[in-house]
Amino acid sequence: MAVSDPERLTLVLRYADVGIATYASLRIVGQPSRTVAWVIEEPILLTAIEELANALPEPHGTESRRDAIERALTQGPWATTETELTLAYILGVLLIGSPGWQLLAECTGSPRAVLFVSPSARLARVPWGLLAVPKSGPSKEELVRARQDAITASGRQAARIPWQLTDIDEHTDGHRLMELVDVLMAVPPNIVHTPRAAAGWDSRKEGPPLLVLDPRVPGQRPDSALGRCSEDPRHKHNWRSTSPS
Amino acid sequence: MRLIGSTPGGRRASLTRLPHRGFWTYDAAVSISDELARARQLTYAADETSARDLLLSLIPQIGQEDRDDLMLEVLAQLGEIYLARGANDGVQESIQRIDDCLAIYTEVAADANAPMICRYSRRAQFLRTGLAAAQGDHDGAAAALEKLNDATSDGDFADLADEHTYLRTLAQVLCATALCDDDLHTRSLPLWGQVLNAVDQSRDGGEFTDHLLVTAATAYGRFCVETGRLSEAEPWLRRAGARAQQRGWELATARTQLERAAACWSVGDHVSTEQLISQAYPVIERHARVHDLARCWLYLGFTRMASGALEAADECWERAEQHWRDLGKPLHLHRILLQRSWISIFWSRFGDAVELIAQARELLDSSPRSSWLQYAQLDNHLGTVWRADALADLGFDSSGDPDETLEETEARQAEGLGILRGEVGTPEYWRGLTKLEQAAELKIPAALAVDSVRYSIADADARSRWATRISAPILAGAFAVAWEWENTELISELVEYHSARGTFNAEPQRSPVGEWASTATAPVLIDTEEALSAAGPPPQGAGSLTRLGPLPPLQMQPDAAPIMSHYRALALQRYGRDVTAAEPAWSTWP
């Protein structure tokens, strides 16, 4: 991976969910003084999760699987490009604080920076690369008020945020996080550092085979560059290098 | 089950004279036996005063009839009454008199009176076990219980087998409850296992069986609530409550209500808590059970606090404190002092809060059964005072004013948005930041200590209970302090530490009740014996993606020192928790 390019900035965005709040830190490896942090109060986090849940084809409550898929495809935020952008904007505002966007903006350039994201469990389904860069959003006061109203005697609800979304283009130019930096998921340190038992092919060759379905991509010739899923040039080397000799 | 019936052995032997068969009348003996049975019923109905008076009134008649077996029954019953009421001297005296009497029989006519000697030796042994447990002498209680368990030591009489089972099980309940009173829940686990077995096997639905069921189920229900096993607590408490109500045992019924209230509180159901306590309180007060009374006031204070009524909550907790002072149990007293300090915190009377916490610390120091966890929680709480003090300096809109009334503080809290209105760069601002640094110094080591224990627990359910009830609120407080301190480097390190284990399960992150609402409720110390005793090499579950055990040093940047070494060292120094695994440092950059 080209991450080892010494010229290339490596950013790490991590979220820590401690219940009543989720804390985020965004740092550049090797430049600790530029680290930024922000906090997402639980009602705000719940709002983000709720917005995303509307878009996903996962059944809500008594909804059937079929209805869930239909909702996601025809009514949910991902049904039209405009509502998709709106959701991407909302998630961008709620999940990445303005110091975060600021630092990301400072890191655009050549070679492209790479951003590793390690979300919390509750944020695991967020499509990070798609988040839209916001130009403006609700005021701090509006967010505080919305948060306060969402903390009730019966628990914490999703905050009702007074969005002004009639013209989404006023609030975002439509640039996505993946346009600023290469977005990758971070492998947690405990996995990275898990001791691995070395095992040679001889000891494994009697094991059950793993079969990989590799259908032809419709409309592509099988021998063309994109002819098969596994023949994506970006993946070619990975496949070959991990297959047993 | 038969506890009182015909005289065991059927023969008599006087302590002072040779036997005079026919000296007593059949009718008199039967009526005394009936009265003894009535006394037993009164005891079960928790009317101990009437039971005691009745028993004492029988003594002259029994003396006239020269029936030592009946006298032994009176002494044994009196001992049980004193035990139930916490009158330890009375228990001691009952044991002594039973022993004296049995000693003479053993000497002069052991064979002829073997069943009676066996029966009342066991009753005395039961009292000895209960007394040791009540005095917090858990080792003594365990030894006494073992002796009681030995069915054959005093002889093996088939008609005493049921009574033996009853005594043994009741003694196990007493020992287990006493352990839980001292936060030794883990040690009580095997006892609860035995108790549940015995309750499951009990056969007939007589009064003794019912009494055993109600007592054991209520006590076990309480254990479950305190250790966060709410779904298991519920059926036991309902069963105990139904049986007690059927029998008309009002105190036993009220006690199940109190435990159910505690369960409701721990899931944030304020309405049911209030309702159940209101039902239980008058009965518990009538029967003057001091510890349970104090617990009623504790929960009444909670529900008042939850509705913002600070003054009413303070009054409730003051009464709870008074009751626990009367009992003289340092662990309970230390908790209620910590709880009361919340009022001072909300009122911005930080000096008072610190004073209460200092008293609580002295009580912990004086208790032989304090644990590192209680000190970690206490330090965390002291950190909360520093934090609240700092926030007041920073213009926190919900901070109270020490010169206003509690009523005014209540109103201010109701209106507060939870934001800081102070100006940056003022002397107050800098003072506030210094106090936050102090708060971090207290809260972060405590958070690291409890969090590392959480990850030493191999059982996922137990780990989740520990997280919800102990480590999550403390960890959240540590993050909050770092955030308010505006210490980006520290937040970044805390986030790094928190995500170093990866995130595969959405474990419950926080208790459904606020931080103030759990200070005085007993913490969970269960399934964690190993976790608490040592932070050894990490137990690595096969195939599990969850890293258990403490984390090794974490290095965030190339050539940087490991993060949070200062706080990790403090955790070791203060609580003896080695929160850093002795392994090569992990680099945490990609």
What does the domain layout of chain B look like in residue ranges?
1-12+25-203, 378-520+546-590
Number of domains in chain A: 2
If one counts every other C-beta atom within 10 angstroms of the C-beta of residue B41, the result is 14
- Whether A13 maps to a domain, the answer reads yes
Continuous segment of H or E residues that includes residue B518: none
Rounded to whole angstroms, how far apart are CA atoms A216 and B434? Answer: 65
- Whether A199 maps to a domain, the answer reads no
Q: How far is A235 from chain B (nearest CA, A)?
A: 20
Residue B540 vs residue B578, higher pLDDT: B578
Residue whose pair of structure tokens reads 């109600």 in the numeric block: B214
* Nearby residues of B186 by Cβ (< 8 Å), 6 or more positions away: B525, B526, B527, B528, B529, B532
Q: Are residues A187 and A214 in the same domain?
A: no
Is pLDDT of B452 > 60? yes
The predicted structure's pLDDT at residue A109: 84
Q: Are residues A56 and A119 in the same domain?
A: yes
Residue A53 contacts B, CB cutoff 8 Å: no
pLDDT band at residue B3 under the 50/70/90 scheme: very low
Q: What ipTM was reported for this prediction?
A: 0.85
Rounded to whole angstroms, how far apart are CA atoms B568 and A106? Answer: 34
* Centroid of chain to Cα B282: 22
Model pLDDT for residues B460-512, shown as the tens digit of each residue = 777 777 777 788 889 999 999 999 999 999 999 999 999 887 665 555 555 55
- What pTM did the predictor assign? 0.81
Q: Are residues A30 and A83 in the same domain?
A: yes
Q: Are residues A8 and A124 in the same domain?
A: yes
Burial of B481 (0-12, 13-18, 19+ CB in 10 A): buried
- Whether A198 maps to a domain, the answer reads no
The predicted structure's pLDDT at residue B510: 54
pLDDT band at residue B12 under the 50/70/90 scheme: very low
Residue A27 contacts B, CB cutoff 8 Å: yes
Q: What angle do CA A14, A16, A19 make, to 5 degrees?
A: 155
Q: How far is A154 from chain B (nearest CA, A)?
A: 8
Q: Which of A87-91, A92-96, B206-210 has the lowest mean pLDDT?
A: B206-210
Rounded to whole angstroms, how far apart are CA atoms A127 and A91? Answer: 9
Q: Are residues A122 and A153 in the same domain?
A: yes
Rounded to whole angstroms, how far apart are CA atoms B574 and B589? Answer: 30
Task: Pick B1-12+25-203's CATH classification: 1.25.40, 1.10.3470, 1.20.120, 3.40.50.
Answer: 1.25.40
The predicted structure's pLDDT at residue B415: 78
Q: Residue B557 and residue A32: Cβ atoms within 8 Å?
A: yes
Model pLDDT for residues B303-342, shown as the tens digit of each residue = 998 888 899 999 999 999 999 999 888 889 999 999 999 9
Q: How far is A236 from chain B (nearest CA, A)?
A: 23
Q: Are residues A136 and A22 in the same domain?
A: yes
Q: Are residues A170 and A233 in the same domain?
A: no
Cis peptide before A111 (omega within 30 of 0): yes
Rounded to whole angstroms, how far apart are CA atoms B254 and B208? Answer: 19
- Whole-number mean pLDDT of chain A? 86
Considering CB atoms only, which of B488, B499, B546 is closest to A36?
A: B488
- Whether A202 maps to a domain, the answer reads no
Continuous segment of H or E residues that includes residue B554: strand B554-555
Q: Are residues A132 and A213 in the same domain?
A: no
Identity of the residue numbered B454: R
Q: Are residues A169 and A48 in the same domain?
A: yes
Is pLDDT of B386 > 60? yes
Rounded to whole angstroms, how far apart are CA atoms A217 and B339? Answer: 66
Residue A225 contacts B, CB cutoff 8 Å: no
pLDDT band at residue A224 under the 50/70/90 scheme: confident
Q: Are residues A187 and A219 in the same domain?
A: no
- Whether A200 maps to a domain, the answer reads no
Mean pLDDT of A9-19: 94
| Residue B23 in tokens | 């000296």
The share of chain A scoring above pLDDT 70, in percent, equals 88
Q: Which among B404, B331, B326 has a CA at the least distance from the CA of B362?
A: B331
Q: Residue A27 and residue B492: Cβ atoms within 8 Å?
A: yes
- A-B contacts at Cβ under 8 angstroms: 122
Rounded to whole angstroms, how far apart are CA atoms B175 and B47? Answer: 23
- Residue A78 is given by DSSP the state G
Is pLDDT of B217 > 80? yes
Considering CB atoms only, which of A36, A145, A191 is closest to B545?
A: A191
Range 380-419 of B in CB contact (< 8 A) with A: 417-419
Range 146-185 of A in CB contact (< 8 A) with B: 147-148, 153, 155, 184
Q: Which among B175, B119, B106 has a CA at the least distance from the CA of B144?
A: B175
Range 488-547 of B in CB contact (< 8 A) with A: 488-489, 491-492, 494-496, 498-507, 509-510, 512, 545-547
| Residue B495 in tokens | 């986030």
Three-state DSSP at B515 gives helix
Domain containing A228 equals 209-242
**Residue in B closest to A147 by C-alpha:** B417
Instruction: Provide the CB-side half-sphere exposure for B264 (13 A, CA).
Output: 20
The predicted structure's pLDDT at residue B506: 53
Q: Are residues A187 and A233 in the same domain?
A: no
Is pLDDT of B396 > 60? yes
Q: What angle do CA A153, B524, B260 make, to 5 degrees?
A: 55
Q: Which among A13, A40, A6 has a CA at the least distance from the CA of A28?
A: A13
Model pLDDT for residues B19-60, shown as the tens digit of each residue = 333 445 666 667 888 999 999 999 999 999 999 999 999 999
Contacts of A32 in chain B (CB under 8 A): 489, 492, 556-557, 560
The predicted structure's pLDDT at residue A150: 85
Q: Are residues A128 and A163 in the same domain?
A: yes
- Whether A156 maps to a domain, the answer reads yes
- Whether A151 maps to a domain, the answer reads yes
Burial of B264 (0-12, 13-18, 19+ CB in 10 A): buried
Mean pLDDT of B201-205: 74
The predicted structure's pLDDT at residue B364: 92
